[in-house]
Structure 1
Amino acid sequence: MSDTSNELNSWNLNGEVVQNESGMTIMEAAKAHGIEIPCFCYHPGLSIAGNCRICMVESNRSPKPIISCSERIAEGLEIQTDSEKAVDARDSVMEFQLINHPLDCPVCDKAGECVLQDHSYEHGPDRSRFVEDKNIRHTKELGPTIDIWGNRCIVCTRCVRFCDEISGTSELCVVERGDRSVVDVFPGIPIDNAMAGNTVDICPVGALISTDFKYEA
């Protein structure tokens, strides 16, 4: 099989013909041209999950918006990151993310450096249409140095993949389904590995809290 890693693909990004190496994702290629596409679950050091859906863009090869973190560029591909269809899709995802999220930014340890907070300013609605009761998810100790505030969790699974792929300890999992999904530890297996602190750092919101710094940040 021939090596295509250095082959260049010509494709259209927001009306401009650009070139990138074959095999790059749309998100990576767009970033190389100075265009940031919002994301929650994507992290360059982890496998691609594609579950947050906030990175959707409009493509000439799909009738519906596609996620840019997993789709690869190709010759002749046309992508719009800021079209009405793409923006509406991201706005809808953000509205769903905020339905059960608490309005506790002023007291959250992640305030000021929270990805959800940043994206909500750009893509979130200025008021909620949701009038039903919010789902309340657990706040508990996951290990001797880590707590989880389940109401803040957006189930991006970064922490789960980190424990599976980087620390190799696999203590974390996602329990329940739908809007009740939340990260938890397997019964009787607390997260207590040498890289536990990094698990907190990789969380894009304030769901995982280091007990060493709780209420101290």
Structure 2
Amino acid sequence: MPSSLPYVPSIKPSYAQHRNRLELEAKVKGMSCANLDIVVKDVGTNSPLFQAKGKYVFFANGVDVKAAHGALLYRVRQRRLSRRKVYKVTDGEVPKDGASVLMQAQARRALSDWTDLAIHCTSSSDNGGQPRPSMLKIRTSHDTIEVLTDNGLVLGQIIRSKSALIRLSSAQSYRMLISPGVDASLVVLVFVCMHMQRLVRKSTMSTVAVTAAAA
């Protein structure tokens, strides 16, 4: 008899063991992908979970996502000279040359807003660990961003801080509410790709403005 439970995509099931809603806090610094710095901690235990740091990669924007103990979990790459803004995520625990793409986020237009991404992922929690493709959606409402499956299941919420002090500082703060049994690293990856798109879009618009002024 088939299960009536909804399918929940997961890349690293070890980050989906929580049975209650998980509350995370993310602090973001950086004016470009190369110096992007995101630290994510568990609010309940006040302990770090993930860190995403930008790095210089030849002809690409790169961000490495690591666990709190320093192990490389994911590599996120976007080719700088490509007209299509595509963010490809590979498994950091596999040698770079042999790592397959686990998730891909693509901006719908050249200057898409940071939440206007089409996201495809290959998860590993279905049929005894066999890969299964999934599509994720982003829905925005005021200061809240929801990450959903294509059938409407909410994986997590990302909430911008309303603190004026944080808005005026160099760091931005966000709350993440991860639904029970959902891979927290998957929602964090979506968050990283959104911030990379925000910075790439900002850089592209600056280049367009400079080119127009020179003309």
Larger CA Rg, structure 1 vs 2: 1
- The reply to whether TM is greater than 0.5 is no
Which is richer in strand? 2
Q: Shorter-chain TM-score: what band? A: under 0.3
